[in-house]
Amino acid sequence: EVVLDGSEAPIRIEAEALLASERLAPTATLNKIRVPYRPTEAKLCTLPTNRDKLPSGKQILALTLTYLFKLEDGAEVKPHIPLLNNRIYDTKFESQFYMISDTNKRVYAMGDCYPASSQLPKGEYSLRLYLRHDNVQYLEKMKQLVLFLERNLEEKDVIPLNFFSEPDGPVMGNGTFKYSILVPGIKESFYLSPPNKDKLPKCSSQGSVLLGAISHGKLSYAGEGKNPQKNPVSYQISYVVPPSKIDEDKGKGSSSASTKPMAERLQEEIREAKIKVFGSLKQDSDEDRSEWKKLAQSLKSEYPKYTPLLVKILESLLSRSNIGDKIHYYEKVSRIESIFWYENADGSLEFAL
């Protein structure tokens, strides 16, 4: 199997003819995609009946994992679980049953450790995976089991890959490798280029895997050779989809904010709203100034080290209109409001009322 890791680096491939001269004409395409999913729900329970009890007395436990996915268009979908599929006698887990249903609980497909493709129309679906074991610790480790949904790409989304005679060919755009004649006993190398990022299908999110085939030769008679899997010898090829590029306009300001949890972003928005309202309060009367001082102390205790709040407090004090003499004003602020900065043990400056 040939694996492209998602970087811009091509893969070096060597070919050799053992007995006679051969025509080397490699072809490669990516025509399938596997999209990874994590379970949205995991339920672990003890099976109640004596039928689910081992001769040693241990009770068998069941783990039900629920995966949610959405199809923008109808497609033929095949679930794939690398850890469990195609294993019966050498696996430690029982059952491995799955069921695909839509939001109306209509069942579209069921299967076991040998999953099959199922035609699904456009819509939202849930896949429930059922596992059993008598050790709860093993099932706990399976609560975040990754599941892949494999589907064929449409004809317009199939990606043909290019070959080059030198490693810098994909970047320089020259040195395309078309074909060569292999001399017996002499190896010849060429480079398989990763697909252009602009040609990746829209449904390929980060972590998805594009699958296809690569072959080194074509059949001699016409009409064949376009599909590498139909050629005499073919190998599987996979490409791991890398993170998408960051927009220059959005990446500068929102990249760090987008990585924060939603709850943290909400608290920051609430804090900024409070400070904005606080800065717009008037201090025309003694009663207003008294209320302002209480609110300032409350915000100061809630956000003690938030510099924009401290700056807003100073700006509000400086904007008081009933103080004419600046010298008298600073003396009054120093005496009544007791504003001062002090240095913490860690070297940071602290502002207090």
CA 61 to each of CA 42, 95, 110, 156, 340: distance values in angstroms, whole numbers, following the listed order: 13, 11, 21, 46, 63
Query: Residue 283 phi/psi, 5° resolution?
Result: -135, 50
Looking at residue 291, its pLDDT comes to 85
Report the candidate in 82, 49, 80, 54 with the shortest Cα–Cα distance to residue 67: 80
pLDDT digits (tens, 9 = 90+) for 335-350: 444 444 454 555 544 5
Place of tokens 């596992």: 131
DSSP class of residue 243 equals P
At residue 158, what is the residue type? V
Per-position pLDDT tens, the chain of length 353: 888 988 888 989 888 888 888 888 888 999 999 999 999 999 999 888 888 888 888 889 999 999 999 998 888 999 999 899 998 888 888 888 999 999 999 999 999 999 999 999 999 999 999 999 999 999 999 999 999 999 998 888 899 999 998 888 888 877 888 888 888 888 888 899 999 888 888 878 888 999 999 888 775 554 544 566 666 678 899 999 988 777 644 554 444 555 678 888 888 888 888 888 888 887 778 888 888 888 888 888 888 878 888 888 877 777 665 544 444 545 544 544 444 445 455 554 454 54
Looking at residue 320, its pLDDT comes to 64
Check if the beta carbon of residue 118 is closer than 8 Å to that of residue 108. yes
At 62, list the tokens.
């069941």
CATH number for the domain whose boundaries are 2-33+156-240? 2.60.40
Query: Residue 71 phi/psi, 5° resolution?
Result: -110, 125
Domain coordinates of the chain in residue numbers?
A: 2-33+156-240, 39-145, 248-352
Looking at residue 249, its pLDDT comes to 45
